[in-house]
Amino acid sequence: MTKKLVASARRRRRRRNGEAGFTLVEILVVITIIGLIMALVGPRVLNYLGESKAKAAKIQIESFSSALDLYYLDIGRYPTTNEGLAALTRGNNLPGWNGPYLRGGMVPNDPWGHGYVYRSPGERSPYDIISLGSDGQEGGSGTAADIASGTR
């Protein structure tokens, strides 16, 4: 009886050893499928990332606009182009200054890491705030397009 048990245990071990792991072909098929999925999904994910950065820049510009309006109410004028957005963080001994008007006491960069461009007076309003987009240069289209205050 013990000979039968030993023989059946050996057969079971042989079966397990023969079925262990994956073949090279199976692994290559799985890698190919994953590659195809990434090729289809990847561009969409990158597009969403670009859109979200543009939305973040618009929100920051709106925040700057609110801070500039508060500055205007306190001082009676908007900061000049030379003073820039930095005027929202330090008063330079101006009478009536009640800041800083931005959280953290500093002007953040746009989502692409570039500084915002501030011009006063603006082309169609008392001031313009512009994010230069992903390329960091004026003009452009797509994700490289500029994002300006007063635009939707």
Span 93-117, average pLDDT: 86
Tokens of 52: 């979200």
From residue 85, give the alpha-carbon distance in Å to each of 3, 18, 25, 70, 100.
90, 71, 60, 13, 11
Question: pLDDT-derived band of residue 5, with 50, 70 and 90 as boundaries?
Answer: low
What is the CATH architecture of 23-148?
2-Layer Sandwich (3.30)
Span 110-114, average pLDDT: 89
Length of the chain: 152
Sequence-distant (6+) residues with CB within 8 A of 56 are: 111
Q: Name which of 116, 150, 108, 126 is nearest 71 in CA terms.
A: 126
Cα distance between residue 111 and residue 91, in whole Å: 26
For residue 152, pLDDT beyond 70 = no
pLDDT tens-digit map of 11-69: 666 555 556 688 999 999 999 999 998 888 888 877 777 788 888 899 999 999 999 99
